[in-house]
Amino acid sequence: MSKRKVKRSAIFIIGIISFFIIYFISFKAFSGLGHKEGSKPVSTEEKVDSRSLLSQFKSKNKIYISDGNVSNVRMEDEKVEEFRYSFNEFSKIRTPDSYKPVYEGYTDDDIRFSTDLNVFRVYTVNKEEYYKVPVSYKKEFKEILDTSIYTSFDFIKQYKTWKQVTIDYGDETKKVIGWSYDDLASKMVQKRLVGKIQPEKARARCKYKFTINIKSDNYEARVDIMGEDYVKITVNNLISYYEVSNNLYNYIKTDIFKIADSE
C-alpha cells in the first residue's frame, strides 16, 4: 500500500472520530443548556379547595333553581345575595335519616344544592354536607326561594310555557296571539331588582296603565307596567319590582293598543 493511500485512510478515520467527538460535545452542551433554561417541573396535582362546600357555594354568582313545577330558573343577582345571607342562619348537622327535597339547584361549576325547608343539602359528586334550617326561619327561607323562581324575569320570560296572554288597558283587553309571544318576551328586558316606592310613584303619574296577564299550566302571573321604566310582577302573593327597558312600555302602547303620542 502506498504512503499516499495510508495517509488518506488515516485522515478519513481521524475525520470520522473528530465528527463523533464534536457531535457528542455539542449534544451534552445543548442538553445542559436546555436543562438550565427550562422551567421547573409542572406539578400535575390539582389544588384542593379545603373550604366547606357551603363556603364554596357562597362564592358562586350564577345559581339556577327548580321546584316541582318549573326548572332551571336563574336567580337574579339581588336574590343570590339574599340567598347567601340566609346561610348565616344554618347549622351543620349529620346526614338525616330521611330527606326528600322540594327545591333543587346548581351553580355553573357543578356544586349542587337541595332543601325540604327543614334541611339544606349542598353536594358534589364526591362530597356532601347537611345543614339545619331553623324553624323560626323556615317561612322567610321559603319566600326567598319562591320569589327567586316565580317573580324572576328569567322565569316570566319563558314564553314557551305560556298558554294564554292578555293585556289590559282600562276597560279594554287585548289577547296576544301565540305566534307573537316571543316578540312580547323579547321586549321584557330588566335592568335591576328595585324597591316598591319609585315604581308605585311612576305608575301613579303615568297616563297609560297597562297590565299583562299570563296563564300557564302551573301558575298565573300579573305584570303591571309601572310607567315607562318599571314593572311589578305578582304571582300568588309573591311580589317583585324591576327597573326595565322602556321598550316594553312602548311596544304595548304603540304596537298592541295603537296609541299615538298625540293622544
**What's residue 153's pLDDT?**
87
pLDDT of 133 strictly over 90? yes
Query: Backbone phi, then psi, for 140, in 5-degree steps?
Result: -65, -40
On whether the CB atoms of residues 259 and 208 are closer than 8 A, the answer is: yes
Range scoring the smallest mean pLDDT among 53-62, 80-89, 100-109, 253-262: 253-262
Per-residue pLDDT tens digits for 211-251: 999 999 888 999 999 999 999 999 988 999 999 999 999 99
Q: Bigger pLDDT: 31 or 249? A: 249
Q: In Å, how far are 42, 54, 57, 129, 246 from 51, measured between CA atoms? A: 24, 8, 10, 12, 44
Quick one: fold of 153-256? Answer: Dna Ligase; domain 1 (3.30.1490)
* Pairwise CA distance, residues 147 & 156, whole Å: 11
**What's residue 9's pLDDT?**
60
Query: Backbone phi, then psi, for 105, in 5-degree steps?
Result: -170, 180
- Please report, for the chain, the start and end positions of each structural domain, with discontinuous segments joined by +: 53-150, 153-256
* Pairwise CA distance, residues 29 & 24, whole Å: 9
**What's residue 10's pLDDT?**
56
**What's residue 37's pLDDT?**
47
Query: Backbone phi, then psi, for 158, in 5-degree steps?
Result: -75, 75
**What's residue 218's pLDDT?**
84
Q: In Å, how far are 72, 87, 193 from 125, measured between CA atoms? A: 19, 22, 34
The dihedral sign for the CA sequence 145, 98, 96, 48: negative
**What's residue 175's pLDDT?**
97
**What's residue 20's pLDDT?**
58
C-alpha grid cell, residue 94: 349529620
Q: In Å, how far are 18, 113, 124, 243 from 110, measured between CA atoms? A: 63, 10, 7, 31
**DSSP label at 206?**
-
Query: Backbone phi, then psi, for 163, in 5-degree steps?
Result: -110, -35
Per-residue pLDDT tens digits for 155-200: 999 999 999 999 999 999 999 999 999 999 999 999 999 999 999 9
Average pLDDT over residues 131-141: 96
pLDDT of 3 strictly over 60? no
Kindly state the percentage of the chain with pLDDT values over 70.
81
pLDDT of 7 strictly over 60? no
Pinpoint the alpha helices (H) of 151-191: 153-156, 181-186
**What's residue 68's pLDDT?**
85
**What's residue 45's pLDDT?**
52
pLDDT of 29 strictly over 60? no
**What's residue 59's pLDDT?**
92
E strand or H helix at 247: helix 247-250
